[in-house]
């Protein structure tokens, strides 16, 4: 497979193609008749998936930090370039995006009945925006993608959403916009600093800025704050999470899936790629760490507790996202190879499991036009297949061993325990709470007595719905039973991340590669991040 | 091409665009007076005015492209790339005003062919403002422009609101002119000259930096300009005047008038007071003006229900953004001036675009078009709604539109000049502005029309439609490939570099 891809020069065009294919698809939908819009969208999304699958083999875990790139001058006057690449962190975010996009199209098949062309075109544009965020290695380019995916999501919630869609869409937009504009100023300050201290050509490339920035300590705190706010709103971390329940509940099913599955990961991805590597001294500062870890733990517990009392199933899942993402942030800040890998696993798992839960809620909503837990009960007797899938997915979301959810949360807790035992201990109760709110909801929806006559005529899963759910279930089981290949691909990049932030080689752990230098020579021009960043480092207390 | 200003030919050549436009406007005035009653006279006058603008534009571009310059110090009219850049923007704005007025005037039954002549005269005044090397030329240009625009804003005689707008504008404008004139007098008293470059060279030897007369003169000058560019707290006239004037005139006022007054302000500040030490005198003033203008303009716009008033306040807010570009500019750093030019061009396109779409939607001055009246426009007029959405997102400064690159450039100039706090204020107020730009988009796309015939009267004449299409396309195309315009803006700003320096790619650090 690797040789075959090499013969296609896959590494040269793959990422750029991934960005262009959905855009081209969106344009192709324009002249087509409305009926065929969803077919075109599905075909485009499947092509996209096929192209992206090659990354699995083409990515070389032992190779340079950024692979399979692309480069073009864009605005040379300011050193702005089109510069993309993939590492072990973005690889899985890209795959998750391309995996969920066709499912989102398929999941909208019956639910979206008006202005279909616009809907599917926006969905495809959204895919480009999200992929762009995950592959951009130029700060300006990253910012443009980061903002551009706002517009399609804003329209998807605002036009095809539920009753409160107008409020939800504008809240979603303005929250994100606030954070990202402050980040924009921070990017500019970084850029000027790097440009002046290096004395070379101006550049927005992440590598150049990592190497050259030498900021005074006080400025670093402000800039980190701006980046942190932008990403924390997106994650969302408590107390910046209030846009999330509105947006998730009002969005159409596919919108919720994309929102939970991918958009939220952009925040945690931002931590991994930008906020921590750029400002390691601030991020590792004892007070900052304490605050962030506390917020993460509070998010885990608070999200779970609020989820427990939701009468609306969709809102319940929305709050469960707050809880799950708390694990991710905790794992990232715990700074061990295991915990960061675990955080990445939770990011993937949450995309799959929560995405599946949103699909399942959407399916029952299409039949019954209600999402209230109290409106159901005992439907396992009417729709046994649906009930079985819902149970399995719920268990994976809880983190039952053998499903994907277990692997991620276990690794996070294991890794965190080494550095923040107390936080790990409290966070572990979050897993119990998760079991409580999901199992309790499950019980009330599919078990108990079948006492509502409206529920007696529910139909079970259709072929199309099986088409949506089978890949998700397969992924749940695969990642739960054999996560090895995934972890192997993540490991070097995780290690590199920790080295960049801590400025020293990460200690070896049992299941990781043998101790010693990182396998594979760093890319040319990438040799100095840790050393150069150390120059920007604060005197540690 | 070096022009010798001692010869009549050189002098004429240096003022070629202004001369062409003045002669053309005078001839057109005669023509309009002569054939007033003929059917179709108005449209013909409009087309002829467009021809005059095109000629002046060609002259400007020719002078710019041939690298026209004068040796030594220009005595009254600058011959530099900044003047040509602003001239080009002003002429584009005038051309757009003419193009969008043709069908509008017919629809509103305003039959005054002199309308177009007034636009030409206003444009001449603006071009003098952009090039004025002498405070008297600046004042002449300002008056020529203002008087023409006073008349334009009240051109619909049957509209009482139009009359009110014109009177208000005239009274406050005259007041502002008096401030300006008094400021000029004081500066002359202090420096003994009204020529900008000479004032600059007098400040050092005469120890004028703490001279009361100079400071008072500068202050009055700033007040006069702040009135004209509608900076808070000198903006009180703006909403009523913008609201009462015919919509194409509002578009013209909020872009070209503002552009020209701003250009004169930039030139005065950078040429007469551009030395790094003198910069310290006015930078804090501009800083506060910018901050207050952004905050007040955006917050008050948030409370508007009427689309036209909302756009009026939004144009106040944008004056604040333009002032932000200015703060960091002085003789050694022209990034601010370049950002200013770039933003001005696209600000013109997106603002005129929004006013033009409003003009298509409304009737009788468009004062009663609420934002909510746009509900469902995307269903019946998808392209019009798309155009409006692009204008709104561009005004918001969203990536993918030229407005983003413009705002970005301003942020580059501000942070590069060490004004990070002002940059933060700019982005925070931009977030506020999302609170009134987005509802327009939301209303068009996400709310159903109030009744079936809500937009039945919205007809898009071919001329206005084509003009709009070009503007919207420009906003999108230059949002992705701004390089050519960036180069032009930078070339335009190099007019202010001290002699000896020919290029600066990025602002010189001012501390850190």
What digits encode the pLDDT tens for the residues A212-270?
Answer: 888 888 888 999 999 999 999 998 888 888 999 899 989 999 999 999 999 999 999 99
**Pairing between β-strand A67-75 and β-strand A80-86 as defined by DSSP bridges:** antiparallel
Q: Select the residue of A144, A169, A196 nearest B509 (Cβ to Cβ).
A: A196
Q: What mean pLDDT, rounded, does chain A reach?
A: 86
Question: B427 to chain A: nearest residue by CA?
Answer: A181
Q: Select the residue of A75, A154, A202 nearest B486 (Cβ to Cβ).
A: A75
The predicted structure's pLDDT at residue B499: 57
Strand partners, B370: B306
Nearest to residue A306, comparing CAs of A223, A241, A382?
A241
In three-state form (DSSP H/G/I as H, E/B as E, the rest C), the secondary structure along A75-113 is EHHHCEEEEEEECHHHHHHHHHHHHHHHHHHHHCCCCCC
What is the helix (H) or strand (E) element at residue A68, kind and residue range? Answer: strand A67-75
CB B489 within 8 A of CB B334: no
> Is A78 in the B-facing interface, judged by CB distances under 8 Å?
yes
- As a whole number, mean pLDDT of residues A176-202 equals 87
In B, which residues are within 8 Å of A177 by CB distance?
A: 431, 434
The residues near A61 (Cβ < 8 Å, ≥ 6 apart) are A88, A488, A489, A491, A492, A493, A519, A520
The predicted structure's pLDDT at residue B4: 80
Residue A261 and residue B434: Cα distance in Å, rounded? 26
> Is B400 in the A-facing interface, judged by CB distances under 8 Å?
yes
Residue A269 and residue B423: Cα distance in Å, rounded? 26
Residue A360 and residue A354: Cα distance in Å, rounded? 10
Could you tell me what percent of chain A has a pLDDT over 70?
A: 93
pLDDT tens for chain B, 512 residues long, are: 788 877 888 888 889 999 999 999 999 999 888 877 777 888 889 999 999 999 999 999 999 998 888 877 777 888 888 999 999 999 999 999 999 998 888 888 888 888 999 999 999 999 999 999 999 999 999 999 999 999 999 988 888 888 999 999 999 999 999 999 999 999 999 888 889 888 888 887 777 777 888 899 999 999 999 999 999 889 889 999 998 899 999 999 999 999 999 999 999 998 888 887 888 888 899 999 999 999 999 999 999 989 999 999 999 999 999 999 988 776 667 788 899 999 999 999 999 999 999 998 877 666 778 888 888 888 888 899 999 999 999 999 999 899 999 999 999 888 888 888 999 999 999 999 999 999 999 999 988 888 877 787 788 888 889 999 999 999 999 999 998 888 888 888 887 776 554 444 444 443 33
**The pLDDT of residue A538 is above 50:** no
The predicted structure's pLDDT at residue A42: 93
Count of other CB atoms within 10 angstroms of residue A239: 11
Residue A309 and residue A315: Cα distance in Å, rounded? 10
- Chain B, window 167-226: residues with a beta carbon less than 8 angstroms from a chain A beta carbon: none
Residue A256 and residue A241: Cα distance in Å, rounded? 15
pLDDT band at A47 (very low <50, low <70, confident <90, very high): very high
The predicted structure's pLDDT at residue B451: 81
Residue B396 and residue B317: Cα distance in Å, rounded? 11
Q: Is A321 helix (H, G, I), strand (E, B) or coil?
A: helix
> Is B442 in the A-facing interface, judged by CB distances under 8 Å?
yes
Strand partners, B2: B69
CB B346 within 8 A of CB B402: yes
Output B68 or A147, whichever has higher pLDDT.
A147
Looking at chain B, how many residues does it have?
512
**From A322-326, A421-425, B24-28, B451-455, the region with the lowest mean pLDDT:** B451-455
For chain A, the helix, strand and coil percentages under 3-state DSSP, each to the nearest 5: 75, 5, 20
- As a whole number, mean pLDDT of residues A332-351 equals 92
Nearest to residue B86, comparing CAs of B496, B483, B408, B492?
B492
Does ipTM come in above 0.90?
Answer: no
Give Rg (Cα) of chain A: 22
Written as six digits, the tokens of A233 are: 């709103």
**Is B412–A158 a contact, with Cβ atoms under 8 angstroms apart?**
no
Residue B347 and residue B404: Cα distance in Å, rounded? 11
Written as six digits, the tokens of B329 are: 């500019």
Q: For an interface test with B, give the residue of A181, A186, A219 to mutate (most B CBs within 10 A).
A: A181
Q: Select the residue of B431, B446, B487 nearest A181 (Cβ to Cβ).
A: B431
Angle between helices B335-361 and B382-396 (to 10 degrees): 150
pLDDT band at A528 (very low <50, low <70, confident <90, very high): very low
| CA of A337 vs chain B CAs: smallest distance (Å) | 36
The predicted structure's pLDDT at residue A223: 92
The predicted structure's pLDDT at residue A347: 93
Residue B419 and residue B417: Cα distance in Å, rounded? 6
């340079």: which residue's tokens? A64
Question: A75 to chain B: nearest residue by CA?
Answer: B483
pTM: 0.89
The residues near A372 (Cβ < 8 Å, ≥ 6 apart) are A311, A312, A313
The predicted structure's pLDDT at residue B56: 96
> Is B508 in the A-facing interface, judged by CB distances under 8 Å?
no
The predicted structure's pLDDT at residue B89: 94
**Is B512–A193 a contact, with Cβ atoms under 8 angstroms apart?**
yes
The predicted structure's pLDDT at residue B364: 65
The residues near A328 (Cβ < 8 Å, ≥ 6 apart) are A235, A268, A343, A346, A347, A350, A412
**The pLDDT of residue A541 is above 60:** no
> Is A531 in the B-facing interface, judged by CB distances under 8 Å?
no
What is the helix (H) or strand (E) element at residue A204, kind and residue range? Answer: none
Q: Which CA distances in Å does A425 have to A302, A306, A325, A330, B123? A: 15, 20, 17, 12, 73
Residue B115 and residue A275: Cα distance in Å, rounded? 57
Written as six digits, the tokens of A349 are: 């798992």
């Amino acid at each position: 497979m690797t040789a075959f891809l090499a013969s296609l020069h896959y590494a040269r065009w793959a990422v750029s193609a991934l960005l262009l294919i959905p855009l081209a698809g969106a344009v192709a939908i324009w002249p087509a008749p409305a009926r065929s819009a969803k077919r075109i969208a599905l075909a485009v999304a499947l092509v996209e998936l096929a192209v992206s699958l090659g990354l699995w083999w083409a990515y070389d875990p032992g190779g340079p930090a950024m692979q399979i790139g692309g480069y073009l001058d864009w605005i040379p006057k300011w050193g702005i370039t089109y510069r993309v690449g993939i590492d072990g962190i973005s690889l899985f975010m890209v795959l998750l995006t391309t995996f969920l996009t066709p499912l989102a199209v398929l999941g909208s098949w019956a639910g979206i009945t008006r202005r279909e062309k616009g809907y599917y075109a926006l969905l495809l544009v959204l895919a480009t925006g999200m992929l762009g965020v995950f592959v951009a290695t130029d700060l300006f380019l990253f910012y443009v993608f980061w903002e551009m995916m706002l517009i399609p999501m804003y329209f998807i919630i605002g036009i095809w959403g539920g009753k409160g869609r107008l409020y939800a869409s504008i809240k979603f937009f303005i929250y994100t916009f606030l954070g990202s504009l402050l980040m924009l100023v921070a990017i500019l300050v970084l850029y000027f600093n790097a440009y002046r201290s290096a004395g070379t050509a101006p550049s927005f490339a992440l590598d150049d800025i990592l190497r050259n920035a030498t900021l005074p300590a006080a400025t670093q705190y402000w800039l980190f704050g701006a980046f942190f706010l932008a990403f924390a709103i997106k994650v969302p971390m408590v107390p910046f999470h209030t846009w999330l329940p509105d947006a998730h509940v009002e969005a159409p099913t596919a919108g919720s899936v994309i929102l939970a599955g991918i958009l939220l990961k952009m925040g945690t991805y931002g931590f991994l790629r930008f906020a921590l590597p750029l400002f390691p001294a601030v991020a590792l500062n004892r007070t900052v760490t304490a605050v962030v870890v506390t917020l993460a733990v509070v998010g885990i517990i608070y999200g779970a507790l609020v989820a427990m009392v939701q009468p609306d199933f969709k809102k319940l899942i929305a709050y469960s996202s707050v809880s799950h993402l708390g694990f991710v942030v905790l794992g990232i800040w715990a700074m061990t190879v295991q915990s960061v890998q675990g955080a990445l696993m939770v990011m993937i798992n949450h995309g799959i499991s929560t995405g599946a839960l949103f699909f399942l809620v959407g399916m029952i909503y299409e039949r019954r036009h209600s999402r209230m837990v109290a409106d159901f009960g005992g439907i396992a007797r009417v729709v046994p297949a649906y009930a079985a899938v819902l149970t399995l997915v719920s268990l994976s979301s809880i983190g039952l061993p053998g499903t994907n959810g277990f692997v991620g949360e276990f690794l996070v807790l294991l890794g965190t325990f080494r550095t923040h035992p107390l936080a790990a201990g409290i966070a572990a109760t979050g897993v119990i709470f998760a079991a409580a709110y999901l199992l309790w909801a499950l019980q009330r929806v599919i078990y108990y007595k079948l006492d509502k006559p409206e529920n007696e005529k529910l139909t079970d899963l259709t072929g199309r719905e099986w088409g949506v759910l089978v890949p998700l279930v397969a992924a749940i089981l695969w990642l739960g039973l054999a996560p090895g290949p995934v972890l192997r691909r993540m490991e070097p990049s995780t290690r590199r991340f920790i080295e960049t932030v801590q400025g020293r080689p990460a200690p070896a752990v049992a299941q990781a590669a043998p101790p010693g230098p990182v396998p594979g020579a760093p890319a040319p021009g990438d040799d100095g991040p840790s050393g150069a960043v150390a120059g920007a480092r604060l005197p540690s207390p | 091409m070096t022009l010798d200003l001692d010869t009549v030919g050189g002098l004429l050549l240096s003022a070629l665009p202004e001369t062409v436009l003045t002669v053309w406007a005078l001839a057109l005035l005669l023509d309009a007076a002569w054939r007033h009653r003929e059917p179709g006279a108005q449209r013909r006058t409009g087309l002829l005015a467009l021809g005059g603008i095109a000629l002046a534009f060609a002259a400007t571009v020719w002078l710019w492209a041939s690298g026209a310059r004068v040796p030594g110090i220009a005595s009254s009219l600058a011959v530099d790339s900044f003047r040509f850049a602003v001239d080009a923007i002003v002429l584009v704005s005038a051309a757009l005003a003419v193009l969008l007025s043709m069908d509008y005037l017919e629809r509103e039954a305003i039959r005054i062919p002199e309308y177009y002549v007034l636009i030409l005269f206003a444009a001449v005044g603006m071009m003098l403002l952009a090039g004025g090397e002498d405070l008297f030329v600046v004042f002449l240009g300002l008056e020529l422009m203002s008087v023409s625009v006073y008349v334009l804003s009240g051109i619909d005689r049957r509209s009482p609101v139009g009359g009110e707008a014109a009177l208000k504008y005239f009274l406050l404008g005259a007041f502002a002119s008096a401030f300006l004139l008094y400021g000029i007098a004081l500066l002359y008293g202090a420096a003994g000259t009204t020529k900008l470059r000479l004032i600059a060279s007098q400040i050092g030897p005469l120890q004028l930096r703490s001279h009361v007369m100079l400071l008072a003169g500068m202050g009055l000058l700033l007040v006069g300009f702040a009135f004209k560019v509608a900076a808070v707290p000198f903006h009180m006239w703006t909403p009523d005047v913008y609201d009462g004037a015919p919509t194409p005139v509002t578009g013209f006022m909020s872009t070209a008038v503002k552009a020209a007054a701003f250009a004169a302000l930039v030139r005065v500040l950078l040429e007469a007071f551009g030395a790094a030490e003198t910069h310290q005198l006015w930078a804090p003033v501009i800083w506060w003006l910018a901050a207050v203008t952004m905050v007040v303009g955006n917050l008050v716009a948030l409370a508007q229900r009427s689309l036209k008033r909302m756009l009026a306040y939004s144009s106040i807010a944008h004056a604040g953004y333009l002032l932000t570009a200015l703060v960091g500019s002085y003789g050694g750093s022209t990034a601010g001036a370049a950002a200013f030019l770039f933003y001005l061009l696209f600000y013109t396109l997106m603002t005129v675009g929004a006013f033009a779409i409003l003009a298509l939607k409304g009737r009788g001055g468009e004062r009663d078009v609420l934002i909510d009246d746009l509900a469902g426009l995307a269903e019946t007029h998808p392209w019009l709604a798309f155009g409006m959405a692009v204008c709104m997102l561009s005004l918001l400064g969203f990536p993918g539109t030229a407005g983003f690159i413009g705002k970005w450039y301003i942020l580059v100039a501000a942070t590069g000049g060490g004004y990070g706090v002002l940059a933060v204020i700019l982005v925070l107020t931009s977030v506020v502005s999302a609170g009134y730009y987005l509802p327009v988009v939301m209303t068009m796309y996400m709310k159903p029309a109030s009744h079936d015939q809500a937009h039945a009267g919205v007809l898009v004449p071919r001329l206005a439609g084509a003009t709009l299409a070009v503007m919207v396309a420009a906003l999108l195309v230059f949002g992705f490939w701004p390089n050519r315009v960036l180069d032009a803006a930078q070339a335009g700003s190099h007019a202010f570099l001290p002699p000896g320096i020919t290029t600066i790619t990025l602002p010189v650090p001012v501390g850190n």
